[in-house]
Structure 1
Amino acid sequence: MYKIFVFLFFSTFLSAELINGVSVVVKGEPITLYDIKEEMSILNVDAAQATDILIRKKLEEAEINERKISVSSSEVYDDIKKIASMNKMSIDEFYDVVRNSNGLTSTELKEKTKEKLLSQKLYASIAYSSLDVPGEEEIKEYYELHKEQFMHPSAFDVVIYSSQNRDALQKKRTTPLYHSDEIRIDEQTLPYDRLPPELLQMLKNTKEKSFTPIFQDTNALYTSFYLKEIQSSKETSYESVKEQIINMIMSQKREQVLGDYFARLRNNADIQIIREVKE
């Protein structure tokens, strides 16, 4: 009798804890207060926006399961390989760029790629007719209205610090007045158009008057760039970004279709708001 009482007590306690942590239930699937706060932190949005995003994700997951949509590991790899090739990089180089610029491991990148491909397949399953590819006039109009998105620096003024001693280089990064004969110093101006993609991405993600992360260069030396100044922006030509613009327009149109679909689905779905997050 005592054992039964203890079991019932802890079962009730654990159930209460679970319910207390749940904020929203979407088609029987819970969204916890922790989920919402984490989404707020990652995306820098308020509680209402984070909740809407997570509800949409739950609806998408339910729709993907109901439609039995899947993505294989080979499809994920092929997509990553294609993007790396478009950027003239090997798979390993692409993983390094993503890790340095976004902090994503290769496993996390694969998971996000899988989510993207699932979303694309879901769109193809939902859309009843294919979207029209934008014409020349629509593409040019988008370019003219969003020119600032296609600006890039003309060059980077840097000081390159390199050494066989990683500890000495790390000390230089944290203590600028530190001097060591083990560290080689070289000042250069690096034209934007001549930089390899990995280094370009690293510099674009570095603030002026600060260091890049330490990496090993082609000579196996530990290296870090101090970004002195970013030279004035340069406008990218229309032809060089035309394909990018087409993809952006098509992506916006797809999202409009999906947004309308899930707005209607949400109105009819079983969604229970248990408690709201206090900001």
Structure 2
Amino acid sequence: MRPLLLSTLLASFLWSAPIGGVAVLVKNSPITLYEVQQEMKQSNTNAQQSADTLIRKKLEQLEAVEKKITVTSAEVKEELERMAKQNNLSMEQFLNAMQTVRGLSEKELKAKVEESIKGQKLYSAIAFSKMAQPTPTEEAEYYQLHLDDFSRPESFSVTVYTASSQEALQAKITDPMHNIEGIASKDETLAYNAINPQLAQILNKIPQGNFTPILPNGQNGFMSFYVREKNNVVTENLESSRPAIANAIMGEKRNQVLNDYFTRLRLSAEIKVLRLP
């Protein structure tokens, strides 16, 4: 009786452990409470939204296994090289930029690239017919609806706030008038074509009078840019933007196909939500 009681207590303890505890079963494949908690933290969503995101990812993983879809390290390397070249950066510069601007280590970046390639292969495997290229009319409509995406300033007037503590920097962003110890600031003018392309994209999307998300500064600290002004904003014309517009439209169509497919798959899959944080 004693050994049985001990094993029961041990099993109960393991089941309730925050890292090992199972939150959701997708076709008998587990999603742990720890994974849900990490997703909540990273995406700033509630438990149910985070669980939904992880269920979708799990379905994609299982579908990739079922369809024998794999991604090699050579494919990941080739895609990283393409991304670096597209941004006019060496591989070392590109990896450093992704660490600084998006806080992604080389390992994390490779995982995301692998996931992206696998998604493209999944789409190719499940698409029932080839999508038609967008018509000139579709491109023109997209251009008018997304003019901001094709506009950029020649430079940004910013105030760069830096700190060794992410919490202190967040407090400064929340209350800019509050003097917080350990926060340094500097006014700068950043030329659009002279800064990292990823940073330029982030700054371009932030409205004037607002802060960027907190970013690693590459020196074991953190930084955030307060966008004071965008100088000499210019808009690319429709003709020069057509390649980017076509890619964006095709990307939206692919995402819609994938979303529809996995929505139907989820309805038929055996999914058990056991408990959420």
Question: What TM bracket, shorter-length normalisation?
Answer: 0.7 to 0.9
Shift of residue 56, structure 1, vs aligned partner: 0.8
The one-letter code matched in structure 1 to 2:42 is I
Query: Does structure 1 retain, via aligned residues, the 8 Å contact 2:100–2:217?
Result: no
Question: Which residue in 1 is equivalent to 2:78?
Answer: 78
Question: Which residue in 2 is equivalent to 1:234?
Answer: 234
Query: Does structure 2 retain, via aligned residues, the 8 Å contact 1:71–1:117?
Result: yes
Residues 78 and 34 of structure 1: CA distance in aligned 2, closer, same or farther (over 3 Å): same
The one-letter code matched in structure 2 to 1:26 is V
Question: Which residue in 1 is equivalent to 2:173?
Answer: none
Distance 1:229 1:236 in 2: 20
What is the CA deviation profile of residues 51-101 of structure 1, one whole-angstrom value per residue up to 9, with x for unaligned ones?
A: 221111111111111111100000000011111112211111111221111
Residues 69 and 232 of structure 1: CA distance in aligned 2, closer, same or farther (over 3 Å): same
Is 1:39 aligned with 2:7? no
Question: Which residue in 1 is equivalent to 2:163?
Answer: none
SS at match of 2:134: coil
Residues 81 and 3 of structure 1: CA distance in aligned 2, closer, same or farther (over 3 Å): same
Query: Does structure 1 retain, via aligned residues, the 8 Å contact 2:26–2:272?
Result: yes
Alignment root-mean-square deviation, CA: 3.6
Distance 1:16 1:159 in 2: 47
Find the structure with the greater CA-based Rg: 1
Residues 114 and 3 of structure 1: CA distance in aligned 2, closer, same or farther (over 3 Å): same
Question: Which residue in 2 is equivalent to 1:179?
Answer: none
Q: How does 1:144-163 map to 2 (within 5 A)?
A: 144-157=144-157
Residues 14 and 78 of structure 1: CA distance in aligned 2, closer, same or farther (over 3 Å): same
TM-score, normalized by length of structure 2?
A: 0.74
Query: Does structure 2 retain, via aligned residues, the 8 Å contact 1:209–1:229?
Result: no
Query: Does structure 1 retain, via aligned residues, the 8 Å contact 2:152–2:234?
Result: yes
Moved more, 240-249 or 109-118: 240-249
Q: How does 1:15-34 map to 2 (within 5 A)?
A: 15=15, 17=17, 21-34=21-34
The one-letter code matched in structure 2 to 1:82 is R
Query: Does structure 2 retain, via aligned residues, the 8 Å contact 1:139–1:242?
Result: yes
Residues 159 and 124 of structure 1: CA distance in aligned 2, closer, same or farther (over 3 Å): closer
Distance 2:94 2:193 in 1: 18
Question: Which residue in 1 is equivalent to 2:142?
Answer: 142
Query: Identity over the aligned pairs, expressed in percent?
Result: 39
Distance 2:217 2:251 in 1: 36
Residues 99 and 132 of structure 1: CA distance in aligned 2, closer, same or farther (over 3 Å): same
Question: Which residue in 1 is equivalent to 2:131?
Answer: 131
Query: Does structure 1 retain, via aligned residues, the 8 Å contact 2:103–2:216?
Result: no
Question: Which residue in 1 is equivalent to 2:175?
Answer: none
Q: How does 1:87-126 map to 2 (within 5 A)?
A: 87-126=87-126
Residues 204 and 99 of structure 1: CA distance in aligned 2, closer, same or farther (over 3 Å): farther
TM-score, normalized by length of structure 1?
A: 0.74
Residues 121 and 233 of structure 1: CA distance in aligned 2, closer, same or farther (over 3 Å): same
Distance 1:213 1:159 in 2: 16
Distance 2:257 2:140 in 1: 23
Residues 17 and 228 of structure 1: CA distance in aligned 2, closer, same or farther (over 3 Å): closer
Q: Alignment length, in residue pairs?
A: 248
Shift of residue 188, structure 1, vs aligned partner: 7.3
Shift of residue 266, structure 1, vs aligned partner: 1.0
The one-letter code matched in structure 2 to 1:52 is D
Distance 1:148 1:201 in 2: 11
SS at match of 2:61: helix
Query: Does structure 2 retain, via aligned residues, the 8 Å contact 1:97–1:201?
Result: no
Distance 1:210 1:141 in 2: 31
Shift of residue 139, structure 1, vs aligned partner: 1.0
Query: Does structure 2 retain, via aligned residues, the 8 Å contact 1:208–1:230?
Result: no
Distance 1:199 1:17 in 2: 40
Unaligned residue ranges in structure 1 (runs of 5+):
161-172, 177-184, 217-224
SS at match of 2:272: strand
The one-letter code matched in structure 1 to 2:59 is L
Distance 1:141 1:265 in 2: 32
Query: Does structure 2 retain, via aligned residues, the 8 Å contact 1:156–1:227?
Result: yes
Question: Which residue in 2 is equivalent to 1:64?
Answer: 64
Unaligned residue ranges in structure 2 (runs of 5+):
161-181, 220-224
What is the CA deviation profile of residues 223-265 of structure 1, one whole-angstrom value per residue up to 9, with x for unaligned ones?
A: xx99764325332332343222212111111111111111111
The one-letter code matched in structure 2 to 1:46 is N
